[in-house]
Structure 1
Amino acid sequence: MPEQHSHARPTGLAVWLVVAGVIGWWAAFSLTLEKLHALANPDAIASCDFSVLVQCSANLDSWQGSVFGFPNPILGLTGWMAPIVVGMAILARARFARWFWWCFWAGIAFAFGFVVWLIGQSIYDLHTLCPWCMVTWSVTIPTFYAVTLHLLRAGLVPVSAGVRRVADRLMAWVPLAAILSYAIILLLAQLEMNAIVNVWQTLFG
């Protein structure tokens, strides 16, 4: 019980949820503006189109960019509000029931799975690296890791005390796990699209 109580108000996680939520929401908002601009001006070049490789128009115009019948960024505009609200509520000393944390985790897990799928589509099908999409990836991945470990360490999932202790220790390694995840994505992009050389040429000519 003392272990559960010590994680009843996870301030560090709350701050990250707010920061990640704001960054993710801004990326979704920016992509939504690009989509609206493209609809109003079909011949215009998006501000996030830097080269054939680094661009967002190809992603937004593809079927993968509107999987559910509307532009994917709209999911981000609504979905990223949840981490912001949850994080702010925790900072305001709110406590949530177990079922609430499970529902919240389910939403984060869906976002993580969707992002992993979109990464694969972007690298292996569209052959592009969308700048604002990558911003979304960069906050979704560590958020999933952090929320998953919190559920385990706080006893919100029926696991042993040993598993809770391990999850608690692993929380400090979430940044490294995220960096390793980014490195894997970069490696895959490099193997498929020679991304490092192409991005370097895009940035520095």
Structure 2
Amino acid sequence: MTAQRTRHIGYGIWLIVASLAGWWAAFQLTMDKFISLENPDAVLSCNVSIFVQCTKNLDSWQGAVFGFPNPLIGVTGWMAVLVMGVAVLAGVRFPRWFWALFGLGIAFAFVFIAWLIGQSFFALHTLCPWCGLTYLVVIPTFLTTVVELGRNGTFSKKRSVQQAFGRLMAWTPLASIVAFAIIVVLAQIAGIDLLGEVGRMLA
């Protein structure tokens, strides 16, 4: 069973940055959930307008799909990503099955937030600010991880395949921007003036 060298500095740094941002968003949502449980009438700091808020999301069944608040998944899951980022920077060698499991975890996070985006826009008609931060880090993390799995030999041991994936890494920022643009379009389709709301928040 071959272990792969994973000292890809850029990828490792991204995992650390993304995990810290994602953990902070999950932590804030968890605290907001605790506040709302203690005082259902409390006005949460993440409630900006009727469209940009987190109360509706946290109080919905979609906010606790597995029987507990979704943010708890992020509080624990992002710590694993942080540890992985540090390990990558340190050049730790992992076997292919370990990378495959990590990839499955990231893929689950991507599919889960894609579903949550749909639910938030088309069922709840809201944009949760802290959820939005989660979207901003999960999507690039998924894309870069797919490329990383290709270039470190998890998908294939062929050198040509690994090199091809290596060249794709430079395109992940553009792919992420395209994904964010699709989210904005979906928000507009759902009747949420996302750009207008962001403008009012920054004003």
Give the Cα–Cα distance (whole angstroms) in 2 for the partners of residues 84 and 194 of structure 1. Answer: 33
Instruction: Please list the CA deviations of residues 157-199 of structure 1 after superposition, one character each: whole Å capped at 9, or x if unmatched.
Output: 1264443222111101111111110000001101221414641
Give the Cα–Cα distance (whole angstroms) in 1 for the partners of residues 198 and 140 of structure 2. Answer: 26
Instruction: Find 1:84's aligned residue among 82, 85, 92.
Output: 82
Give the Cα–Cα distance (whole angstroms) in 1 for the partners of residues 98 and 152 of structure 2. Answer: 14
Instruction: Find 1:122's aligned residue among 117, 120, 123.
Output: 120
Matched residue, 2:57 = 59
CA contact (8 A) 2:121 2:127 kept: yes
Query: Normalised by the size of structure 2, how large is the TM-score?
Result: 0.93
CA contact (8 A) 1:153 1:163 kept: yes
Cα gap change, 1:204 to 1:23, in 2 (>3 Å): closer
Matched residue, 2:71 = 73
CA contact (8 A) 2:11 2:85 kept: yes
Offset at 1:92? 2.3
Give the Cα–Cα distance (whole angstroms) in 2 for the partners of residues 201 and 92 of structure 1. Answer: 41
User: Would you say 1:50 and 2:44 are equivalent positions?
Assistant: no
Residue 189 of structure 1 aligns to which amino acid in structure 2?
A
Single out whichever of 125-134 and 187-196 deviates more from structure 2.
187-196
What is the percent sequence identity of the aligned residues? Answer: 51
Specify every segment of 5 or more residues in structure 1 that has no aligned partner in the other structure, as ranges: none
Cα gap change, 1:197 to 1:158, in 2 (>3 Å): closer
3-state SS of paired residue (1:174):
helix
3-state SS of paired residue (1:50):
coil
Query: Normalised by the size of structure 1, how large is the TM-score?
Result: 0.92
CA contact (8 A) 1:150 1:168 kept: yes
Instruction: Find 1:19's aligned residue among 6, 10, 17.
Output: 17
CA contact (8 A) 1:53 1:198 kept: no
Matched residue, 2:102 = 104
Q: What number of residue pairs does the alignment pair up?
A: 202
